[in-house]
Structure 1
Amino acid sequence: MVELVHTLADHIDDVNSCTFSDSLLATCSLDKTIRVYSLNDFSEAPFSPLRGHTYGVHCCCFAPHSPILATCSTDGKTILWSMDNGQVRASFQQPTSSPVRVCKFSPNSLYLASGAADGSVVLWNVPLLKIHRSSSVKDGSLVACTFSPDSKLLVTGSSCGDLTVWDENLRCLHSEKAHDLGVACCDFAAQPIAGAERGMEHFQLASCGQDNEIRLWLISYSGAKGLEMRCKDTLSVHSAPVLACAFSNNGEILVSGSVDKSVIIYKVKSQCIVHILTHHTRYVTACSLAPTYPLLAIGSMDKTVSIWKLRQENDTPALLPLVIRRQSKTETHIENWSEDDIKNWLSEEGLSEVEHVFTANNIDGKELLNLSKESLLHDLKIESLGVRNKILRKIEEIKSKMKSTLTNIPDEFLCPITCEIMKDPVIASDGYSYERSAIENWISTKRTSPMTNLPLENLLLTPNRTLKMALNRWLESRSTTLL
């Protein structure tokens, strides 16, 4: 369950950014101010609001290991504020004096990156309070940036749609077009992906942009082998440009906010929607998940910041189907399997001894389909001929089962609560259809829509006879096909 716990309405213009520390929440706005709140009771700090910028404030971020807040503005300045008393610790002027759109501390708090409208990017040495390195992208404004968990990589996003990967000395390691019409935000998961080979780090990155899409990237890096970046998944759920995205601290939850005024909370591994929030009345511009609390902050152009409490991790939320429904292995296309699906499959087939090899090489369903005797031997280094043959035989068995099973179940036949084919579909007052027993169980403890989280107008459930007839016809055609 997601519960609204507080709404902050102190800004008098668009909220552009919000960020958590272990004990504080900071927000900034086009009204030129930064406001700081305690997480204990969401009361405003005695020194808040902070005033030092002469134009709108675009971004704010806390230093991970010290009580410092950084903010940046159209005035070309990036300011460091003490969270002990609200005083200015330092004020950095972008060398080009261009409006600064984004700033971010490295996880080790050694560097602060600032990106500007003219495409310039600066790494500031925080302990020495001076420039470490500066560079620029080829085209567009810098509007997003994030550091890898080990602080060795910086990724920037531009208004031209490029994601650029830099090392800690601002040497460009990689650049590619990620989003048509422009990147809006990007965020590294705070934890590296487990199972990396010796000397190689694997990181997960999310990006979003003006093309209405969210993309999940795998970045692999080592000093000896260089850097590889590939898109693992594309999430096309929002109906308008996606302006913000953020991982939870453990990397299991991803949150996104959009021009369509909604916020969507995803489970990363299963790619299922946990909740859709439609609380704000104008564009959602910012979202942030607290590092230690189960709290989510959402900023909007409606001048407010809403704070939500998320379900604890040991509670299993009702998952809503996303683009690809994760069914049992014999019901879904093998090319849609996640790395976890592959790991479970290997275990079930008595191939546990090679799980670590598949995990280290990030083998998912698509990669599995491309495996051959040669790649198993030379790429995955599986020396046992018997094991290699067994893997290939099991892959062929799965493919054979797939041919006899209808896989593309129409979304309208699936209950949004159970993710299973409905037997007795009913329409609730939110306009969505659900399996009767599932929605009855839901409304016995809640009075909100499972799809929108908004209050239900009434608890009336109307049989959806048209949907049931269509479902019966589909089931009959399926049986005929299988015969």
Structure 2
Amino acid sequence: MVSIVRTLRDHTDEVSCCAFSSALLASCSGDKTLRVYHTSDLSELPFSPLSSHGYRVHCCCFSSCGRFLVSCSTDGSAIVWNSDTGERSAALQHPSRSPLRVCALAHDCAHLLAGACDGTVALWDFSSRTLRRCSAVSEDSVVACCFSPSNQMFVTGCTRGDLKLWDLDVNLLHAEKDAHDLGVTCCSFAAQFNVGVYGCCVEFRLASCGQDSQLKIWIVSQREGAGCVMKLLHTLTAQSAPVLSCAFSSDGELVNLGTVLHTLNQHDRYVTAVALSPTMPWIATGSMDRTVTVWRIGDGDDTTGKYSEQTWFSQTDGEERKLPGHSRLLLADWSEEDVQNWLSEEGLEELVSIFKTNNIDGPELNQMSKETAAELGIESVGLRGRLLRKIEALKAEQSGSEAPDEFLCPITRELMRDPVIAADGYSYERESIQSWIRGKNKTSPMTNLPLQTTLLTPNRSLKTAIARWKSSQ
């Protein structure tokens, strides 16, 4: 049994990641912030949101004790926060300021790892906050990483599709080429591990997912004096689109024979993140619809910390739900029933019969004006004004979330106002790319290759297209 505990709607851009501690839930977003909630009542903490990052926050994670929260961003920094006060404990900069896509803390809190777009990983000593080493591990962006439960090795995954095992000196232990066709998106170790009878072998379970629409479960064996071996245990193929996130439950058990236990369809757009509480039967999912949904698993007893569902993952092909007022479907796609339901939700029930009689659907609602409202027979000036204000608010809500991807700045993921073309051939918001360059980062935010020139050319055709799209909303 699965039920929704609450849907959190505080972020103003796509949710990138979710993480639980024993008492808190954190989420991060393209809006450059992290938000932190009490798991007791899902109220937002007084110091939330946390907003020291200059660009999109890609990943966040708690220390095992829950005292620290770590985040990483396109701005090339990993920030350590005190989760009790919200104070910034440290800001750790990647040596080449390359955008950081993923971060992970060792279970013993000895090391902090971050994967970068230039194919490197930065490894810090967490207690002293000093850089231990920064090493190239791939020719492509590192977008996934996690420490083993033993804290003696870690895994990296890249956009090429390789999974690699490393020791703490960043020596390669094992490489699994093309583990996921078109790229790895996430990896996660189970907390438990098995030790051989004579202590000469340790076995871990690793989950990975990728652009190939598959979730894979691996056995990672570490034998004394014989290195590491990875063996594929399961390939789960219930997904029909790229799988973006995966996580083990606290007991480390697996889905029995790969059976899908539940399909969760609350979100209106792609699901990008999934996290499981270590102490409660809860799952948190984050989405491109800007929301975080908290789910209760099982019979509703939140005090046991035990539940039967074991391995969870999120994927991009979530079912589109037509829930007026909260749906991210464009207004122009709404049916007559959607419009009538929206009126009821907004406290305009007295207009439902009028709209039903006149067969008003989404496109007609989108074009509603004072004149057309009067023609419908809405005699009350106050009621007409309230209707039009609700419509404008709805348009404003939708205008940023459904913009075509090419209209969004690759750095900030915000709708561009003054798009310019950089030397890498990509278009950016002028202010964002200028700030990027002023930060002594002379590489492309998209390719990580050096920019041959800092000259920026106005993209007038794109600016016109964005203006045309905005007017249509």
TM-score, normalised via structure 1 length: 0.61
Distance 1:107 1:55, change over 3 A: same
Query: Does the 8 Å contact 2:22/2:66 carry over to 1?
Result: no
Query: Which residue pairs with 1:217 in the alignment?
Result: 218
Offset of residue 83 of structure 1: 1.1
Distance 1:197 1:215, change over 3 A: farther
Query: Which residue pairs with 1:302 in the alignment?
Result: 289
2:279 equivalent to 1:292:
yes
Distance 1:116 1:45, change over 3 A: same
Query: Which residue pairs with 1:276 in the alignment?
Result: 263
1:98-247, aligned counterparts within 5 Å? 98-177=98-177, 178-193=179-194, 195=196, 197-247=198-248
Query: Which residue pairs with 1:264 in the alignment?
Result: none
Query: Does the 8 Å contact 1:196/1:202 carry over to 2?
Result: no
Query: Does the 8 Å contact 2:280/2:306 carry over to 1?
Result: no
Query: Does the 8 Å contact 2:138/2:158 carry over to 1?
Result: no
Distance 1:54 1:193, change over 3 A: same
For 2:60 and 2:122, the matched residues in 1 are separated by 16
SS at match of 2:263: strand
Query: Does the 8 Å contact 1:193/1:204 carry over to 2?
Result: no
Offset of residue 229 of structure 1: 0.7
SS at match of 1:61: strand
CA shift digits 1:420-442 (9 cap, x unpaired):
xxxxxxxxxxxxxxxxxxxxxxx
2:2 equivalent to 1:2:
yes
Distance 1:33 1:152, change over 3 A: same
1:396-475, aligned counterparts within 5 Å? none
Query: 1:179 corresponds to which letter in structure 2?
Result: H
Query: Which residue pairs with 2:36 in the alignment?
Result: 36
SS at match of 2:138: coil
CA shift digits 1:387-431 (9 cap, x unpaired):
xxxxxxxxxxxxxxxxxxxxxxxxxxxxxxxxxxxxxxxxxxxxx
For 1:118 and 1:86, the matched residues in 2 are separated by 30
SS at match of 1:249: coil
Query: Which residue pairs with 1:377 in the alignment?
Result: none
Offset of residue 251 of structure 1: 1.2
TM-score, normalised via structure 2 length: 0.62
SS at match of 2:192: coil
2:84 equivalent to 1:94:
no
CA shift digits 1:343-370 (9 cap, x unpaired):
xxxxxxxxxxxxxxxxxxxxxxxxxxxx
Distance 1:204 1:197, change over 3 A: farther
For 1:316 and 1:208, the matched residues in 2 are separated by 22
Query: Does the 8 Å contact 1:35/1:49 carry over to 2?
Result: yes
Offset of residue 196 of structure 1: 5.6
Query: 1:43 corresponds to which letter in structure 2?
Result: S
1:368-407, aligned counterparts within 5 Å? none
For 1:114 and 1:28, the matched residues in 2 are separated by 16
Distance 1:27 1:315, change over 3 A: closer
Query: 2:296 corresponds to which letter in structure 1?
Result: K
Offset of residue 224 of structure 1: 1.4
CA shift digits 1:162-200 (9 cap, x unpaired):
101011221111112200100000000010036565221
For 1:90 and 1:216, the matched residues in 2 are separated by 35
Query: 1:270 corresponds to which letter in structure 2?
Result: L
For 1:209 and 1:192, the matched residues in 2 are separated by 24
Offset of residue 207 of structure 1: 0.3
2:238 equivalent to 1:251:
no
For 2:7 and 2:78, the matched residues in 1 are separated by 27
Query: Which residue pairs with 2:74 in the alignment?
Result: 74
SS at match of 1:273: coil
- Structure 1 residues not aligned, in runs of 5+: 254-266, 318-483
For 2:307 and 2:28, the matched residues in 1 are separated by 33
Query: Does the 8 Å contact 2:147/2:154 carry over to 1?
Result: yes
Offset of residue 246 of structure 1: 0.5
Query: Does the 8 Å contact 1:65/1:108 carry over to 2?
Result: no
Offset of residue 222 of structure 1: 3.1
Query: Does the 8 Å contact 1:160/1:182 carry over to 2?
Result: yes
Query: 1:207 corresponds to which letter in structure 2?
Result: S
> CA RMSD of the aligned region, Å?
1.5
Query: 2:101 corresponds to which letter in structure 1?
Result: R
Query: Which residue pairs with 1:15 in the alignment?
Result: 15
CA shift digits 1:94-142 (9 cap, x unpaired):
0111000000000111111000001110111011110122211232100
Query: Which residue pairs with 2:381 in the alignment?
Result: none
SS at match of 1:274: coil
For 1:207 and 1:122, the matched residues in 2 are separated by 21
Query: 2:243 corresponds to which letter in structure 1?
Result: V
Distance 1:316 1:9, change over 3 A: closer
